[in-house]
A and B are shown apart, each in its own frame.
Chain A
Amino acid sequence: MSVLLLAALAASGGLATTLLARRGRGAFLVGLVTSAACLVAAASIDAADVVPLAGSLLGGSDGLRVLAVAWAASTLLFGLIEALIGDGPTVLGPALIGLALGVVGLGESDPGIGLALVTAGAVLTAVVPLIGRIDIREAAPRLGLRTVRPVIASGVIGLLVVAWAASPAGPLGATGPVGTVDPSLGRAMGLALLALALAVGIRLGAIPAHVWVARYAEAMPASAVPPMMGWGSAAFALVAYGWIDVTISPIGAPLGQEHAAIAFIAALSIVLGGVAAILHHDLEHVLAYAIVQDAGVALLGFAASGATVTPAARDWIIGAVAVKAALAAWVLVMRATFGSNQRARLRGWMRRAPILGLAFGIILVAAIGLPTFAAFDARAALVRLAFPGPLAVAILITSFAPLVFLGRLLLDGLGPMSEAVRSASGAGVVLGWASAGGWAGDRTLRRAIPAAIRANRLALAAVAVVFAAAVGLSVAVGGLGSTTVSDGALGAVGRAPLTAGATRL
């Protein structure tokens, strides 16, 4: 019931926020209250709480609770940042709807349902925020079409693969006992694996399907990036991991060539994504190519088999998404604070915005990771399992590119201030009656508090970024925790699932 409650809250609140978007304050109020309620509901998700829903079963798990809490917290923090520095609640409503569809998709054990719902959420989070983008008026329709197409392509491929593979005509419908795989069925399973990896690669923006990610990130405010290319993509990948985990992996078919092909594409994304992030000097492109690089590591979850692969891939994807969501929040507030996204114009930023500096430091630690961090260990495990010895070392070293492209932003921040940074007001805190500026009217708390919030909006947004960074760090440290893959509840409704087992997160 807890998952259903969360979904109902998020869907209704998201719809109301979207419909009220032109009434800025009212929409923000509804959206932020809903986000806070969703955070509470997400924290109450119980692994034993399974409810029948339309002939299927919807249930929670420890992993889903971790993901939902991080997703809801990110939505709430971006809503606050948007309220403080944005033009209107263009992203908050669709983000809540995406959260609702995502948690139902992940709480449901049938991957076909999961992929359909997650794709529906991604379509809405990609397009609806375009309504408020008057600054890209002529490019908006084309941007929307270019963004929706890969989302639909990945969703359709995923749906077809899952349906075909588990049908009587597919390889999973005809397998014998474990360990006795017919060679022709092995090839069919390899084909299913490749197709699903293709779908996930397109959805995550792995090279060569990365262009739409870069175009979307450069044209949209950074607040639109996490719901669309972060949490939504992670949900899609998690459904796919779950399907692989309960269908192809246990059969133990020899899939060396397929794994090698996927590992090659993943290596391309890791190397070229990192290089592209280093070569670009504007914050949005750095964010976009950091996501592309993370997609490469996430694809490694399809490039090897074994009991540790899927848990490692899950830990990686959720950690990477939480950290990049925090990075997106930092980019958003940096741009609002200094009016620029170019490195050259942001020299010395940390001197003017120390709170943002603190947030960035946390993000840097979380992105690079330390041994014992779940994301760090997951990345090392995925690379080690997918590549042979020396190549694994080279790919692993390349995957630490954030040390370069984020580290130099840190060094820029500590250097001498550029003219743009010097002339910006920064994110300093204005205290006392000074926060009310030159206004000399009614100095009651009722008037002073809004005035103080307005005067300190950049500082408050920076504090929200610190919280987002803390969420990212905690998820990167802990991963999905005790992820469960449940398959025991399906028999209760008397309907065979589409797959050989359940894929609930």
Chain B
Amino acid sequence: MNPIVVAVAIAVTIGAVVAVSSRNARTALLGLAITVTAAPFLGDPLPQTSTLAMRVIGAALVAFLLRSAAASAVPTVNDPRPEAERLGSRVGWPAEALMAAAAWLVAIVVASRLAALEPAGPGDGASDILAMLGPAAVTTAAGLASIVVGFVPAFAGRDALRTAIGMLILIQGSFLLRAGVAGAPGDLEQIAGVALFVAVAVAGATLISIEERHEPGVVPGNASIAPLPRTQRRRDGP
């Protein structure tokens, strides 16, 4: 077991849970940023420094794009819906965390018993839990957990921000699962992954801005991000 790899995998999962369950846009985007920034470090072996840097920069760009779009949105001053209905998980973060933990358990147990994935692993009848936490197993676990928690917001999200976050978590989970079961991706595949991430972030930011332009109040931009309502800004001057 490599404790650093395990810690990174746990950070990726916690970030994913925070991203999909937080009712505050800023916190959700922080969780997303943690997930997409930490995930490249789960490769075994790690990619070249330049590729790693590109993935981290791409992750930062993704978070920045969504944050900019959400920040420029008018806060939900007159939105009659409760805050919980606008952003965040309906089942709450404890339930999301439990689902992620269940996904971790499933992935660890299955991966550690597949000799193909963990040739030096414990195999059948293993009782040492630390020995089960090999790099492929924890990468697979972080990927499966991301897919599990990202699925609902991606395909049943009520607004563009939540849907975009869910899609990014889901795609991140797919790439992690791929890296866990099939080994570290090549450089071009990493670049392709960044292209997909940025494309989804651009699409999400576009939809957030359209949503806000046409339906003021729907975007859960949240007062913590948006400085002032436009009307108030106009009244108060620059």
Binding site for B on A (CB under 8 A): 53-56, 101, 105, 108, 110, 112-113, 116-117, 119-121, 123-124, 126-128, 130-131, 137-138, 140-141, 144-145, 148-149, 152-153, 155-156, 159-160, 163-164, 166-170, 173-174, 495, 498
Known contacts A55-B187, A137-B213, then 17 further A-B pairs from the complex at CB < 8 Å, ordered by chain A residue: A56-B188, A56-B189, A110-B188, A123-B200, A130-B207, A140-B214, A141-B159, A141-B160, A144-B203, A144-B206, A144-B210, A145-B157, A145-B207, A148-B207, A155-B171, A159-B178, A163-B177
Does B193 touch A at the CB level, under 8 Å?
yes
How many whole Å from B117's CB to the nearest CB in chain A? 6
- Give residues of chain B (184-225) contacting chain A, Cβ–Cβ below 8 Å: 185-189, 191-193, 195-196, 198-200, 202-203, 206-207, 210-211, 213-215, 218
Closest A-B pairs by Cβ, 8 of them: A168-B116, A163-B178, A120-B199, A167-B182, A127-B203, A116-B192, A141-B211, A54-B187
CB-defined A-B contacts under 8 Å, sample of 23: A56-B187, A101-B195, A105-B192, A113-B188, A116-B195, A117-B195, A117-B196, A119-B199, A120-B195, A120-B199, A120-B200, A123-B196, A124-B199, A124-B203, A127-B206, A128-B206, A137-B214, A138-B215, A141-B159, A155-B196, A164-B182, A169-B116, A498-B182
B210→A130 contact, CB < 8 A: yes
Q: How far is the CA of A152 from the CA of B189 in the complex (A)?
A: 17
Q: How far is the CA of A155 from the CA of B159 in the complex (A)?
A: 21
A152→B154 contact, CB < 8 A: yes
Q: Which residues of A contact B181 (CB under 8 A)?
A: 163-164, 167-170
Q: How far is the CA of A110 from the CA of B211 in the complex (A)?
A: 37
Contact of B196 among A53, A116, A167 (CB under 8 A): A116
Contact of A131 among B154, B160, B163, B210 (CB under 8 A): B210
Q: Which residues of B contact A105 (CB under 8 A)?
A: 192
B210→A495 contact, CB < 8 A: no
Q: How far is the CA of A121 from the CA of B203 in the complex (A)?
A: 11
Q: Which residues of A contact B116 (CB under 8 A)?
A: 167-169, 173-174
Q: How far is the CA of A110 from the CA of B116 in the complex (A)?
A: 22
How many whole Å from A181's CB to the nearest CB in chain B? 18
Q: Which residues of B contact A110 (CB under 8 A)?
A: 186, 188-189
B199→A156 contact, CB < 8 A: no
How many whole Å from B150's CB to the nearest CB in chain A? 10
Contact of B207 among A56, A144, A155 (CB under 8 A): A144
Binding site for A on B (CB under 8 A): 51, 114, 116-117, 154-155, 157, 159-160, 163, 167, 170-171, 174-175, 177-178, 181-183, 185-189, 191-193, 195-196, 198-200, 202-203, 206-207, 210-211, 213-215, 218
B203→A123 contact, CB < 8 A: yes
**Most chain-B CB neighbours within 10 Å: which of A123, A130, A131, A153?**
A123
B196→A119 contact, CB < 8 A: yes
Q: How far is the CA of A112 from the CA of B181 in the complex (A)?
A: 14
Q: Which residues of B contact A56 (CB under 8 A)?
A: 186-189
Q: How far is the CA of A493 from the CA of B153 in the complex (A)?
A: 40
Q: Which residues of B contact A160 (CB under 8 A)?
A: 174, 177-178
Q: How far is the CA of A384 from the CA of B203 in the complex (A)?
A: 41
Count A-B pairs with CB separation below 8 Å.
Answer: 139
Q: How far is the CA of A153 from the CA of B218 in the complex (A)?
A: 25
**Most chain-A CB neighbours within 10 Å: which of B116, B154, B181, B199?**
B199
Q: Which residues of B contact A54 (CB under 8 A)?
A: 51, 186-188, 191
The B interface is mostly helix, strand or loop, or mixed, namely: helix
Q: Which residue of A lies closest to B111 (CB)?
A: A169
Q: Which residues of A contact B186 (CB under 8 A)?
A: 54-56, 110, 495
Q: Which residues of A contact B213 (CB under 8 A)?
A: 137
How many whole Å from A489's CB to the nearest CB in chain B? 14
A168→B206 contact, CB < 8 A: no
B171→A152 contact, CB < 8 A: yes
B167→A152 contact, CB < 8 A: yes
How many whole Å from A78's CB to the nearest CB in chain B? 20
Q: Which residues of A contact B196 (CB under 8 A)?
A: 116-117, 119-120, 123, 155
Q: How far is the CA of A377 from the CA of B5 in the complex (A)?
A: 54
Q: Which residue of B lies closest to A122 (CB)?
A: B199
Q: How far is the CA of A101 from the CA of B202 in the complex (A)?
A: 15
Q: Which residues of A contact B192 (CB under 8 A)?
A: 105, 112-113, 116-117, 120
Q: How far is the CA of A32 from the CA of B218 in the complex (A)?
A: 37
**Most chain-A CB neighbours within 10 Å: which of B114, B188, B218?**
B188
B117→A168 contact, CB < 8 A: yes
Q: Which residues of A contact B155 (CB under 8 A)?
A: 149, 153
Q: How far is the CA of A110 from the CA of B186 in the complex (A)?
A: 10
Q: A127-B203, A141-B207, A168-B116 are in contact. Are A152 and B178 (CB under 8 A)?
A: no
Q: How far is the CA of A116 from the CA of B171 in the complex (A)?
A: 10
Q: Which residues of B contact A140 (CB under 8 A)?
A: 210, 214
A141→B215 contact, CB < 8 A: yes
Q: How far is the CA of A140 from the CA of B159 in the complex (A)?
A: 12
Q: Which residues of A contact B203 (CB under 8 A)?
A: 123-124, 126-128, 144, 148
Q: Which residues of A contact B188 (CB under 8 A)?
A: 53-56, 108, 110, 113
B202→A128 contact, CB < 8 A: yes
Q: Which residue of B lies closest to A497 (CB)?
A: B186
A127→B191 contact, CB < 8 A: no
How many whole Å from B236's CB to the nearest CB in chain A? 28
Q: Which residue of A lies closest to B158 (CB)?
A: A145
Q: Which residues of B contact A137 (CB under 8 A)?
A: 213-214
Q: How far is the CA of A498 from the CA of B195 in the complex (A)?
A: 19
How many whole Å from B16's CB to the nearest CB in chain A? 15
How many whole Å from B162's CB to the nearest CB in chain A? 10
Q: How far is the CA of A160 from the CA of B189 in the complex (A)?
A: 14
B214→A141 contact, CB < 8 A: yes
How many whole Å from A498's CB to the nearest CB in chain B? 6
Q: Which residue of A lies closest to B173 (CB)?
A: A156
B199→A144 contact, CB < 8 A: no
Q: Which residues of B contact A108 (CB under 8 A)?
A: 188
Q: How far is the CA of A374 from the CA of B40 in the complex (A)?
A: 45
B114→A169 contact, CB < 8 A: yes
**Most chain-B CB neighbours within 10 Å: which of A108, A121, A145?**
A145
Q: Which residue of A lies closest to B48 (CB)?
A: A55
**Most chain-B CB neighbours within 10 Å: which of A108, A140, A153, A169?**
A169
Q: Which residues of B contact A123 (CB under 8 A)?
A: 196, 199-200, 202-203
Q: How far is the CA of A178 from the CA of B112 in the complex (A)?
A: 29
How many whole Å from A466's CB to the nearest CB in chain B? 34
Q: How far is the CA of A292 from the CA of B197 in the complex (A)?
A: 28
Q: Which residues of B contact A498 (CB under 8 A)?
A: 182, 189
**Most chain-B CB neighbours within 10 Å: which of A53, A110, A112, A149?**
A112
